[in-house]
Chains A and B, each alone.
Chain A
Amino acid sequence: MGLFTGRPDKILDQLMTEQRARVIAVVDDDEAVRDSLAFLLSVSGHDVAAYGSAAEFLEQCDLNGVAGLILDHHMPKQTGLELLARLRQDGRTMPVLLVTGSPSQDVVERAGVLGVDQVLEKPVSDQGLMDFVDRVAA
């Protein structure tokens, strides 16, 4: 199958998305974690957009520009996996790194079903983080 697949009216979007997708989106309800991630990613030369909740992310983020998503699972109103389910349902296929304080069997399984690239335990190692980011924002 070719690189550009799917409905004809989406192919143009996909073309434009492929060219524009450079932003790493970070969704985490803890301010310090958000800020430090943003700091680290920009120091490493990436474009970062950070959001404090799933709602804020859906409201404000230009999803077409997102190269990769670093998603915290344990958030108060809507969990990371709930947000991801919603994104997948809407046809969003961006790569996702799921970060969680306690990776249970359930979370890992569900993450697999929703097409998560990796599940990493908090606090995430430098290596794990940069491997993902370098791969998706190439």
Chain B
Amino acid sequence: MITTATAADRADRSPDLNLMSALDVACAMFRDLDGTIRFWSVGAERLYGWSPREAVGRRCHDLLATRFPQPLEAIQARLLRDGEWHGELYNQSRDLRPLTVASHWALQRGADGRLSGVLEINHDVSFQAEGMAAMRRLAAIVESSNDAIIGKTLDGIVTAWNRAAEVLFGWRAEEIIGKPLMLLFPPDRVAEEADIIARIRRGERVDRYPTVRRRKDGSEVPVSVTVSPIRDAAGNIIGASKIVHDLSAEEAGARHLREAQAELAHVQRLTELGQLVSALVHEVNQPLAAIGNYASAGRRLLGTGQTAGANVALQKITEQTERAHQIIQRLRGFVRKGDSEQRPELLATMVQDAVALAQMSLRQEQVTIETRLAPEVGPVAADRVQVQQVLFNLIRNAVEAMGQSDRRQITITAATDDPGMVEISIADTGPGLSPTVRANLFRPFVTTKAGGLGVGLSVCRSIVEMHGGRLWAEDNPGGGTVFRFTLRQAPASAEVA
């Protein structure tokens, strides 16, 4: 029990007075029940800047501009109940600096047992408070990031896991902290972790490394990973911080772009052909018109027995026929054999690429696609872009053929039946080909598509024939149509680029 003491008392070396010296070191003050300061320690002057003469007699909470964490009434109620209270307060120094203090209040009673006032002892925790606030701000930044942010030890144990990591990988923080990060690695990427840790130990960063990780449910996700070393205060590397960016959207975007580009190339090619067709029509009409006129003239001449004149007419007809032939030859020249560069290529890759290119329409029309390439099928001699175009075209045709079908499945197979040749087939489950359509299938300018030019299949056939193969259509035993084409096997010694 403390009683207020005067300076004279301090000279007395009783236990009470030793306590008073101790109090002076601390920031301590005593205030009576209405809040008026009666005692102000040396420590209080040091912390707040007010001298005892300035402080004593002033209302404590006014002088210090105190802000309370809870309503003052609640604090006072606690004080009355327990005899004490402690908590953090916000004060202001004499020179208006903000201070955060850890404060302890003790209720005092006089010698008569009645309440006399409150002893308050404060400890400046401004620095720590500011540190805590800064940490909270940083934590908020990490939590609000859209990218997964993960902390791990050098042994690969997860130490930190933000909300975006929970969303991306499906593991909740409490499930994965303390477990090995290897849980996120697909089997074929396991070697990466050792490599990354080695780099981190050397103090190196790993920047935007594209790879694949695995979610809690086993599905894989394409990601870009950035890893940086975490150092302690002494500069030693104690762990790593990983930022994992989900690349699914970017990859989908890139896929759409590639598909659109393939569409565009295809349409451009058709447009070029369309223009060629128009030019051809115009040009061929001229010799035809002349032939018609000469034929009419010839018949009239024969009708009047003028055989010499009729011969002239027939001669002219022959000339005009030759002219028409030249025009056709020029058209052929546009599709030169030299246009295709045939190299050893992997069939599987070309099929995969063509399927990837057609993803949009496959998904839109809900068509399932199954690929069965016999293992003994090796590289083929192919111009990759052209063969891809054939595959893409046939896949798209198959999708369109099944537009009204309940069952929509495309099956792509490859086998080596004929020695030296590979046979690729694309089968659909559509309605099949009627005899009329079948007869005109590869004829240019005949089409069942509204607005179609009808050159798609004839171009495909030209490409396949330029590769030394054949393209034809058959009925699919299970219903639908199968398009088959052949390509030459690449020479055994050939290296695939």
The answer to whether A36 and B300 have CB atoms under 8 Å apart is no
Counting CB contacts under 8 A, is A39 at the interface?
yes
**Which of B105-113, B127-135, B281-289 sits within the interface?**
B281-289
The minimal Cβ–Cβ distance linking A47 to chain B, given in whole angstroms, is: 16
Task: Establish whether residues A39 and B293, one from each chain, have CB atoms under 8 Å apart when the complex forms.
Answer: yes
Within 8 Å of chain A (Cβ to Cβ): is B316?
yes
* Given contact pairs A33-B286, A36-B316, A39-B297, A101 touches B281 in the complex (Cβ within 8 A): yes
CB distance B290 to A36 under 8 Å? yes
Which candidate, A61-69, A87-95, A103-111, A117-125, is the interface stretch facing chain B?
A117-125
A123-B289 contact in complex given A32-B323, A43-B309, C-beta closer than 8 Å: yes
Asked if B296 CB lies within 8 Å of chain A CBs, one says yes
**C-alpha gap A89/B55 in the complex (Å):** 113
A35 beta carbon closer than 8 Å to chain B: yes
Question: B312 contacts which chain A residues (CB < 8 A)?
Answer: 39
The residues of A that contact B91 with a CB separation of less than 8 Å are none
Report the Cα distance A25→B290, complex, angstroms.
Answer: 17
- Once bound together, how far apart are the Cα atoms of A40 and B292, in whole Å? 10
Chain A window 14-58, contacts with chain B (Cβ cutoff 8 Å), 1 for yes, 0 for no: 000000000000000010110111011001100000000000000
- Residues of chain B lying within 8 A (CB to CB) of residue A122: 285-286, 288-289
Closest A residue, CB atoms, query B287:
A32
Contact yes or no, A39 B292, CB < 8 A: no
Across the interface, B320 reaches (CB within 8 A) one of A32, A43, A44, A130, namely A32
A52 → chain B, closest Cβ, in Å? 13
Contact A123:B300 (CB < 8 A) given known A39-B313, A101-B282: no
A6 to B301 Cα, complex, angstroms: 43
State in angstroms the CA–CA spacing of A124 and B286 once bound together: 11
In the docked arrangement, what's the CA distance between A20 and B491, Å? Answer: 80
The answer for the CA separation of A95 and B136 in the assembled complex, in Å, is 95
A126 at the interface (CB under 8 A from B): yes
B residues within 8 A CB of A30? 286, 289-290
Q: Which residues of A contact B30 (CB under 8 A)?
A: none
How distant is A43 from chain B, measured CB to nearest CB, in Å? 5
Chain A proximity mask over B458-469: 1 for CB below 8 Å, otherwise 0 = 000000000000
Chain A residues positioned under 8 Å from B281 (CB to CB): 101-102
Q: Which residue of B lies closest to A43 (CB)?
A: B297
Distance (whole angstroms) from the CB of B300 to the closest CB of chain A = 5
For A125, list chain B residues within 8 Å (CB). Answer: 292
Q: How far is the CA of A44 from the CA of B316 in the complex (A)?
A: 17
Q: Which residue of B lies closest to A101 (CB)?
A: B285
A74 and B296 alpha carbons, distance in the complex (Å): 23
In the complex, the answer to whether B289 meets A39 with C-beta atoms within 8 Å is no
A33 to B282, CA, bound (A): 13
Q: Tell me, rounded to whole Å, the shortest Cβ–Cβ distance linking A131 to chain B.
A: 12
In the complex, the answer to whether B292 meets A124 with C-beta atoms within 8 Å is: yes
Q: CB-CB < 8 A to A126: which residues of B?
A: 292, 295-296
Cβ–Cβ < 8 Å partners of A32 in chain B:
286-287, 289-290, 316, 319-320, 323
B294 interface contact, C-beta 8 A: yes
Q: Is the CB of A33 within 8 A of B293?
A: yes
Looking at the assembled complex, report how far the CB atom of A132 sits from the nearest CB atom of chain B, in whole angstroms. Answer: 13
- CA–CA, A74 to B293, complex, Å? 19
Q: Can you report 26 residue pairs joining A to B where beta carbons are below 8 Å apart?
A: A32-B286, A32-B289, A32-B319, A32-B320, A33-B290, A36-B292, A36-B293, A36-B297, A36-B320, A37-B293, A39-B293, A39-B312, A39-B316, A43-B297, A43-B301, A99-B289, A101-B281, A101-B282, A102-B281, A122-B289, A123-B285, A123-B293, A124-B289, A124-B292, A125-B292, A126-B296
